[in-house]
Structure 1
Amino acid sequence: MTAPGRRSSTFSRLLRHGFTDPSAAERLLESGELSAVRSDPVLLDALGATADPNLALLGLVRLLEAQPDRTARRALLDTLIAAKPLRDRLLGVLGASAALGDHLARHAQDWQALVTYEPRDLHPGVEEFERGLAEATDPVSLRVAYRRCLLSIAARDVCGTTDVAQAAAELADLATATLRAALAIAGAAAPEDAELCRLAVIAMGKCGGHELNYVSDVDVIFVGETADGADEQKAIRAATRLASHMMRICSETTVEGSIWPVDANLRPEGRNGPLVRTLSSHLAYYQRWAKTWEFQALLKARPVAGDLELGEAYVTALEPLVWKAAERENFVTDVQRMRRRVVENIPAAEVDRQLKLGPGGLRDVEFAVQMLQLVHGRGDTSLRSGTTLDALGALAAGGYVGRTDAAGLDAAYRFLRSMEHRIQLYRLRRTHLVPEGDDDLRRIGRSLGLRADPVAELNREWRRHAAVVRRLHEKLFYRPLLDAVAQLAPGEIRLSADAARERLVALGYADPAAALRHLEALASGVSRKAAIQRTLLPVLLGWFADSADPDAGLLNFRKVSDALGRTPWYLRLLRDEGAAAENLARVLSAGRLAPDLLMRAPEAVSLLGDGDGVAGGAGGLEARERAHLEQEILAAVGRADGAQQGVTAARGVRRRELFRTAAMDIVGSYGTEAFPATADQGALVDLVGGAVSDITAATLAGTLRAVVREGWGDTLPTRFAVIGMGRFGGHELGYGSDADVLFVHEPREGADEQEAGRAANAVVSEMRRLLQLPSADPPLLIDADLRPEGKTGPLVRTLNSYEAYYRRWSLVWESQALLRAEPVAGDEELGRRFLELVDPLRYPVGGLGDDAVREIRRIKARMESERMPRGADSTLHTKLGRGGLSDVEWTVQLLQLQHGHREPGLRTTRTRQALAAAREADLVSAEDAAVLDEAWVLATRVRNAVMLVRGRAGDTFPSHGRELAAVGRYLGYGPGHVGDMLDDYRRITRRARAVVDELFYGG
């Protein structure tokens, strides 16, 4: 029994040496062979230097207990005390890996594999590992031999004899030797199959790239050919059997555990494709069907086992295709989309702990490097390395990546891979998650040389390196473009003009020469403005590249910057407010309408920030209430010198608010980091329609005030109101919609009726004239053709005149048109009385008679046949086409006319609200209502998209490829998926037409 004083002394020494559980360690040191360790500073110091001294001591005790006798135990201890290299290696492994400690406890003599000391520059390769596996003749013995070789790699790794890149290369070489041994075992088990075929094993992924983890799937592709003129089908079947057996040997679990899974899912057609193909079959697939990511994967292809001559032929045959991948349309977008998909599939609870796949993780470095290799490796063979760090070094040496950025990524990648190695080494389990427990973090931190406060230091270093990767992994692609044009650091290797153009083409720029001129104009020079632009542009270029028209995005950004470059708040807003820069990039590259609006008033950029506008006016993208808009416009009109200046001021506010709405729509559709894409597209459609309608109403109110103020002072001799009709009255205006209206007046008490009539007509004429004056602002056309008697009738009538007409002459189509009537400007009381007048027409008691229903159906059929443009595709026409706006709206309006008198919910001018009310009243089934609503929302979004993209209204999809792609991007379809967009539109509207046929036409 140890004396208390002595025990206390040992306990303190163990604490000083890093033992977290000194009591348990003290009990282990009581055993006979280890009793000397308590007083031996050599072994105690060595244990204290390990990642986990308690784990190392426990592993040593188990190893000693596994020795055959006391003499062997004593000999092992004496050797450890005498031989520092062995002591450091063995205890280092035991302190870092419980799994390898288990192996040594089962195979008590394998520690002798660590006795030989190699100089720092001597590292085993495939041949040495093959010799270490040579005696393995079955899966069990192969696993034992594999772990013995792994033991030596881990020992060099934890002792710092190798760095992380060398350790990863050794692991890949060990995997190569293991694949060869497994294939030999499979061949020995079926010699007749081995004679029938030639089989090549191509390593992919980290094994192919000489950068394997401790525990990882080993990705492979198999190539098979006939041997000695054998039948090809028989040969491929034989090769498939050999390949399958080889995979089982490596993957299956035995009493010695497993080695690692062999994964062949990178082969053509993935798990659905044949396991083994001939070389010609591989080549045909990659020439015709392969996706961008498959060529990216082939960067790391390397023959490792089987028929190496056949393997080399495979790599040689596919190499030209790999280096043409960057010429594929949407190449960069495809790669970036694949990366985003990986991140999106990470469980939310794991994102912050993911070393490999999460933001700022290993995959970010690898994807960035591989993109640059594929773009520039076509002409520069020095970049064609499958190893990430070698390729990164070659990119820096060639000027494709800034040296500082490359050094930062290199250091981050090495640190993150070292963490990954240490995490996997502990249990030899495949994981990329950083553990959460302090004990695990402490062991990992100590294994990386962080000793003062291992947990805090590890977390700090990990976050710092991840932040470096997050900052650089996309900028890496763009920053050298700026260095190429800025020319600020003489003597530094920079991207050549050809390489810069090559990179811009890969990013989707159709005119790389113009893009370089824009970059030079924005970023060259030593001014503060240019310096800020060099900070902003790497990120902006990425957002432009993510659009359907990067050229337009960059050109528009240059125009805005030229207009606002001397404004102190502009660049500060983009630099300091996280949302503003991305919002601007999305808006400038989404089409013509929003940039055109912005160019006429560049200060509206301030609306794109997080808070209040910098340059006046309410900030942010949230639509403003109509009352506030009207108040601002009326105040501007009141300050103006005359009606024309007043209307100009009103149109200026309208321009700014249309830009705000378009920007809100684009950001809501595309999504940004600060504002994810709006999931409820119907809500976005309602927001846009309501906002544009409110802007139009406020503009008309301001125009009316300006006209009356100039011609009659404060009081017009007649009351006057503007009634919104059609989409205007329904709060559903699009960006390019005309304003359908009716004008109504009522002479004031004591006023001369003829004078009042002349004044009302003069107001209407002047309003239309002023709003149609040539201007840089978007036109606002007032359409009064829905008035009684149409184009031949008077523009404005008294309330009594409307009453007389509707009583005597009103037709059913006019009742239908009045369903959308809503006062929008002028005398509110008069507007309310107009609605009281027309309510009996639009919500008739008892609904519609059969003749009226037939007449509505006849008018609609005639409209479809006469108004559909010649040659238009009726399946893609958003207004008059099958299942389009007209189909849905006329169906809903027929329900309103038939049931509006007894169903108050139907008494609304808004299509979607009326449809929802019809569903609530059981006039339409929930399923049919959903079908109609989806079609109406989609058709409305397509019309809005066309206007945003082309800058002019249209009722069908654009024919120009880039414009069609931009519409697709707005609707959520990525590059290369416009066909899916058109198919989806046809499918959704076809279903809607089936409902319309049932509800409107009666089946």
Structure 2
Amino acid sequence: MTAPGRRSSTFTRLLRHGFTDPSAAERLLDGPELAPVRNDPVLLEALGATADPDLALHGLVRLLEAQPTPAARRELLDTLIAAKPLRDRLLGVLGASAALADHLARHSGDWQALVQYEPRDLHPGVREFERGLAEADDPVSLRVAYRRCLLSIAARDVCGTIDVAQTAAELADLATATLRAALALAGAAAPEDTALCRLAVIAMGKCGGHELNYVSDVDVIFVGESTEGADEGKALRAATRLASHMMRICSETTVEGSIWAVDANLRPEGRNGPLVRTLSSHVAYYQRWAKTWEFQALLKAKPVAGDPELGEQYLAAVEPMVWHAAERDNFVPDVQKMRRRVVENIPAAELDRELKLGPGGLRDVEFAVQLLQLVHGRADATLRSGTTLDALQALAAGGYIGRADAVQLDDAYRFLRSLEHRIQLYRLRRTHLVPEDEADLRRLGRSLGLRTDPAAELRREWRRHTGVVRRLHEKLFYRPLLDAVAQLAPGEARLSPEAARERLVALGYADPAAALRHLEALASGVSRKAAIQRTLLPVLLGWFADSADPDAGLLNFRKVSDALGKTPWYLRLLRDEGAAAENLARVLSAGRLAPDLLMRAPEAVALLGDGDGGSGLEPRGRAPLEQEILAAVGRAGSAEHAVTAARGVRRRELFRTTAADIVDSYGTEANPAVPDQGALVDRVGGAVSDLTAATLAGTLRAVVRAGWGDTLPTRFAVIGMGRFGGHELGYGSDADVLFVHEPRDGVDEREAADAANKVVAEMRRLLQLPSADPPLLIDADLRPEGKSGPLVRTLKSYEAYYRRWSLVWESQALLRAEPVAGDEDLAARFMELADPLRYPAEGLGEDAVREIRRLKARMESERLPRGVDPKLHTKLGPGGLSDVEWTVQLFQMRHGWVEPGLRTTRTREALAAARAAELISGEDAAILDEAWVLATRVRNAVMLVRGRAGDTFPSDSRELTAVGRYLGYGGGHGGDMLDDYRRTTRRARAVVEELFYGA
């Protein structure tokens, strides 16, 4: 019996070495098993270095008791004391895992698997593990061999020989070797099935991602094909039997327990689908039926067992679909929905302890990384790793995640995975819950190197890392504005009001007090809306500051948020689609027109985030617009309501066009390249012209329906003229038109004329009803006899007039004539009437040319507003729109009868045709084209900025700056813009003097 004094000394030493039950430990040390080494200080020191010295000592005694002979026990003790590597490995495992201690007590010789300590033993792969499992010839022996291999991984893990990423990789390799061994056992039991089929096992989830846990379901998908000459149906049934047997071998519980569950629920149709499918069946399913989450899951797919060729064929077939998943409709919302569903399924009592699925847990890191991979991996193959930490490193290297953010995520993920490993290692049970018991927390803390107050330190570190993950997950997953840099310092929230005002002034805000009020209104409170806006505002403030009017941008954002802030999709749009938030910021700070349109139709903000690059901003063609408006008109109860509905469509589509114009003119951080200026002009002109035509068609339908039902007594057509007919309408342009009608068979001409005039009058009345929308004014002054002539004529009346009285300017006006609404046959016959007039067979005589020149000079002198600098007037000034258009039209009238390319209503097309026909040099054509495009862009910019039409540059400095930003000039370069405009138009005027005036 031990003397009391000695006992007291040992008791103290045990406390100092970390034992929590020194009395029990002392009894074990005094037992016969440890008698030879009870006084050896090496043993106590080694036990004290483990995660749980009491557990390690108890496991060691059990292992010694299990040795078959005294000699075997002595060999173990001698090796333990003499060999530090074995001592650290064995005691480290015994102090961290009661389950592996149980295994060693049952299989007392397996401790020798830890003796080897050579470089080749440090990082075994699939082949080494296959050798370790090679002797297993039944499910029970396979379990024993699996635990023996697992023991070696755990030993290297707890000793720090391998890090958490290497541990996870080795666990995945061991799982791969085990699946192969289990499949081999299943095949040996049914060789007739093996002869009928080829079977490939595709690992998914953490096994496929080469980052498995100690205890986890191993997710798989099975692909089967028939062998040559075998019936496909029989082959699939054989493959299903093999797959099912393989799953049972791994999953069923025997005297040696189970290995892990093999889960095939990620297969097409889940539990409801066949366990094994052919490759073509897999491909057909993914092409037609798969949901977004299924492509996300396939990101980690990896062939691991069975037929390797078939496995690679499967991977080659599905990979392209994986990397186009982000192009699917509702991609980001689908990914979010899946993440939310996971969180919602966590019991409330476990939410704060859930290490994997809870807020700030492992899944947050994985989902954020996977989302960014799917979004950017389409174009960047370096991001296509199934391993989370490798993918995170690639995202940082590619600039998709800030390096500081990536380092923090990497650290947090490693800590959380290490904690998860240690929790599972203790009992080898599948769990992700952090224990509540202090002893368990102490053991876990010590296993992670925390020694002062292990339980308290562990809690602090765990909360710190989950806080980091939660913050970065919110930033990177729910708000992936990846390349944005906040313009306010990290301590901004602690700035004094005065310091905040100074900062806003530095950012270009003219009214910082108002800006602070807006920020407070947007970001204060604990609502979800306020929380999301708090994450957005630093970035939005920077984008607003990059505009000509930051104050207007912030004010408009507040208005939109007040209108839509309670609408879930609005916050989701800004949070999830980086382009949407930036596009909205650009639009809201670019002037008055687009924000005014948006305020009257706030739901149109959804257009800003429709896919990459804002594909929702692509203008719609005339046919779908007209179809939508006519359908809305058909549902309306009156002509007034019908036109209101048509105006609603027009308002939304005008916003679409203005927003696209602004976004493309300014460029974005994601897409800084600005498209060709001419292409921008053509797109706006075509979109506004198509929209105007569709609106007139709807108005015409409403008028006819209200007054006459389905059929008007006379055929009626609207002919677009001027910029309308030329597909060149600007945001503030009137719609020049001619109205033509033709009585239907059996209808009195007076009745037909009365009906036609009523239609015109009612159309004009309805379109002039008071509205806050940009006006749509019908201008019929280009009709025969001008304002003195009737608003509408029959086709015969037009023919008679043009034959007897037409002036040269009226023939010139017809160059832009194009049907826009009404009876197509009647419009076509009007165009047949117009063609000989606008493209005269013998060209123009000198008298006609002189008359055109005279009219042009008269227009310049009489219509130019007083007090305006002629050189800056975009329409009538030298080198402006009128100069270019009249020059091109002179070419058309002179040569259109022999040059088919000139027979177009579009100015730029006609100019290109004149160049192709060598009527103008390439250099002169380019000069005229540049001037025309620039002048058109200026007019569009003025309307966008001021909200009302104008033909000259604004005088207000801020408005002038905004026009400059639209045209690609930075702040402070308004003078350069004006100089460039004068220079461009001066060159164009020189060409006009030569080609039009014959100078």
TM-score range with shorter-chain normalisation?
0.5 to 0.7
- Tell me, in whole angstroms, the C-alpha distance in 2 between the residues paired with 1:794 and 1:757: 11
Aligned to 1:511: 511
Q: Classify 1:876/1:752 alpha carbon distance in 2 versus 1 (closer, same or farther; 3 Å).
A: same
Aligned to 1:454: none
Aligned to 1:590: 590
Aligned to 2:630: 634
Aligned to 1:548: 548
Q: Once the two structures are superposed, what CA deviation does each residue of 1:282-315 show, in whole Å capped at 9, x if it has no partner?
A: xxxxxxxxxxxxxxxxxxxxxxxxxxxxxxxxxx
Contact 1:606 1:619 in 2 (8 A): no
- Tell me, in whole angstroms, the C-alpha distance in 2 between the residues paired with 1:406 and 1:500: 30
Q: Which runs of 5+ in 1 are unaligned?
A: 1-11, 19-47, 49-348, 366-404, 413-460, 485-493
Contact 1:891 1:999 in 2 (8 A): yes
RMSD: 3.7
Aligned to 2:574: 574
Aligned mate of 1:688, from 675, 681, 684: 684
Shift of 1:355: 10
Contact 1:743 1:795 in 2 (8 A): yes
Q: Classify 1:619/1:408 alpha carbon distance in 2 versus 1 (closer, same or farther; 3 Å).
A: closer
Aligned mate of 1:898, from 877, 894, 897: 894
Aligned mate of 2:768, from 767, 772, 783: 772
Contact 2:481 2:578 in 1 (8 A): no
Shift of 1:579: 1.6
- Tell me, in whole angstroms, the C-alpha distance in 2 between the residues paired with 1:663 and 1:470: 21
Aligned mate of 1:734, from 730, 737, 747: 730
Aligned mate of 1:799, from 792, 795, 798: 795
Q: Once the two structures are superposed, what CA deviation does each residue of 1:425-460 show, in whole Å capped at 9, x if it has no partner?
A: xxxxxxxxxxxxxxxxxxxxxxxxxxxxxxxxxxxx
Secondary structure of the residue that 1:723 maps to in structure 2? strand
Q: Quick check: which has more Rg, 1 or 2?
A: 2
Q: Once the two structures are superposed, what CA deviation does each residue of 1:733-779 show, in whole Å capped at 9, x if it has no partner?
A: 00000000000000001001001001100000000001001012221
Shift of 1:824: 0.3
Shift of 1:874: 1.7
Between the aligned residues of both structures, percent identity stands at: 81
Shift of 1:578: 2.2
- Tell me, in whole angstroms, the C-alpha distance in 2 between the residues paired with 1:650 and 1:605: 19
Contact 2:480 2:577 in 1 (8 A): no
Aligned to 2:537: 537
Contact 1:742 1:786 in 2 (8 A): yes
> How many residue pairs are counted as aligned between the two chains?
566
Shift of 1:541: 1.1
**Mapped pair 1:669 → 2:665:** yes
Q: Once the two structures are superposed, what CA deviation does each residue of 1:463-508 show, in whole Å capped at 9, x if it has no partner?
A: x999999989965433769x64xxxxxxxxx111011101100100
Instruction: Kindly provide the amino acid, as one letter, of the partner of residue 740 in structure 2.
Output: V
Q: Once the two structures are superposed, what CA deviation does each residue of 1:136-170 show, in whole Å capped at 9, x if it has no partner?
A: xxxxxxxxxxxxxxxxxxxxxxxxxxxxxxxxxxx
Aligned to 2:867: 871
Shift of 1:540: 1.2
- Tell me, in whole angstroms, the C-alpha distance in 2 between the residues paired with 1:406 and 1:505: 33
- Tell me, in whole angstroms, the C-alpha distance in 1 between the residues paired with 2:407 and 2:522: 27
Contact 1:480 1:495 in 2 (8 A): no
Contact 1:678 1:684 in 2 (8 A): no
1:323-362 alignment runs, 5 A limit = none
Secondary structure of the residue that 1:477 maps to in structure 2? coil
Q: Classify 1:710/1:16 alpha carbon distance in 2 versus 1 (closer, same or farther; 3 Å).
A: closer
Aligned to 1:841: 837
1:879-890 alignment runs, 5 A limit = 879-890=875-886
Aligned to 1:700: 696
Secondary structure of the residue that 1:902 maps to in structure 2? coil
Shift of 1:357: 13
Contact 2:400 2:482 in 1 (8 A): no
- Tell me, in whole angstroms, the C-alpha distance in 1 between the residues paired with 2:860 and 2:702: 40
Shift of 1:873: 1.3
Shift of 1:619: 7.7
1:53-72 alignment runs, 5 A limit = none
Aligned mate of 1:759, from 752, 755, 763: 755
Aligned mate of 2:968, from 957, 966, 972: 972
Aligned to 1:478: 488
Aligned to 1:457: none
- Tell me, in whole angstroms, the C-alpha distance in 1 between the residues paired with 2:569 and 2:681: 32
Aligned to 1:935: 931
- Tell me, in whole angstroms, the C-alpha distance in 1 between the residues paired with 2:480 and 2:576: 18
Q: Once the two structures are superposed, what CA deviation does each residue of 1:811-839 show, in whole Å capped at 9, x if it has no partner?
A: 11111100000010000001000010011
Secondary structure of the residue that 1:594 maps to in structure 2? helix
- Tell me, in whole angstroms, the C-alpha distance in 2 between the residues paired with 1:732 and 1:673: 30
Instruction: Kindly provide the amino acid, as one letter, of the partner of residue 487 in structure 2.
Output: F
Shift of 1:609: 1.2
Instruction: Kindly provide the amino acid, as one letter, of the partner of residue 878 in structure 1.
Output: T
1:135-174 alignment runs, 5 A limit = none
Q: Classify 1:937/1:702 alpha carbon distance in 2 versus 1 (closer, same or farther; 3 Å).
A: same
Shift of 1:530: 0.6
Aligned mate of 1:908, from 886, 899, 904: 904
Aligned to 1:147: none
Q: Once the two structures are superposed, what CA deviation does each residue of 1:266-287 show, in whole Å capped at 9, x if it has no partner?
A: xxxxxxxxxxxxxxxxxxxxxx
- Tell me, in whole angstroms, the C-alpha distance in 2 between the residues paired with 1:562 and 1:1002: 60
Contact 1:667 1:677 in 2 (8 A): no
- Tell me, in whole angstroms, the C-alpha distance in 2 between the residues paired with 1:359 and 1:996: 51
1:384-423 alignment runs, 5 A limit = none
Contact 2:885 2:907 in 1 (8 A): yes
Secondary structure of the residue that 1:740 maps to in structure 2? strand
Q: Classify 1:505/1:680 alpha carbon distance in 2 versus 1 (closer, same or farther; 3 Å).
A: same
Secondary structure of the residue that 1:875 maps to in structure 2? helix
Instruction: Kindly provide the amino acid, as one letter, of the partner of residue 783 in structure 2.
Output: R
Aligned mate of 2:805, from 799, 802, 809: 809
Shift of 1:14: 8.5
Q: Once the two structures are superposed, what CA deviation does each residue of 1:588-643 show, in whole Å capped at 9, x if it has no partner?
A: 00000000000011011111112499xxxx98101101010001000100100111
1:977-996 alignment runs, 5 A limit = 977-996=973-992
- Tell me, in whole angstroms, the C-alpha distance in 2 between the residues paired with 1:747 and 1:471: 61
Q: Which runs of 5+ in 2 are unaligned?
A: 1-116, 124-160, 162-381, 383-392, 413-468
Secondary structure of the residue that 2:998 maps to in structure 1? coil
Contact 1:701 1:825 in 2 (8 A): yes
TM-score, structure 1 normalization? 0.53
Contact 2:666 2:965 in 1 (8 A): yes
Contact 1:359 1:470 in 2 (8 A): no
Secondary structure of the residue that 1:1002 maps to in structure 2? coil
Contact 2:714 2:747 in 1 (8 A): yes
Secondary structure of the residue that 1:954 maps to in structure 2? coil
Secondary structure of the residue that 1:478 maps to in structure 2? coil
1:11-22 alignment runs, 5 A limit = none
Instruction: Kindly provide the amino acid, as one letter, of the partner of residue 508 in structure 1.
Output: G
Contact 1:647 1:770 in 2 (8 A): yes
**Mapped pair 1:945 → 2:955:** no
1:263-342 alignment runs, 5 A limit = none
**Mapped pair 1:560 → 2:560:** yes
Instruction: Kindly provide the amino acid, as one letter, of the partner of residue 589 in structure 2.
Output: S
Contact 2:938 2:953 in 1 (8 A): yes
Q: Classify 1:406/1:965 alpha carbon distance in 2 versus 1 (closer, same or farther; 3 Å).
A: farther
Aligned mate of 2:617, from 614, 621, 624: 621
Q: Once the two structures are superposed, what CA deviation does each residue of 1:946-973 show, in whole Å capped at 9, x if it has no partner?
A: 0000000011111111101111111111
Shift of 1:927: 1.1
Shift of 1:676: 3.9
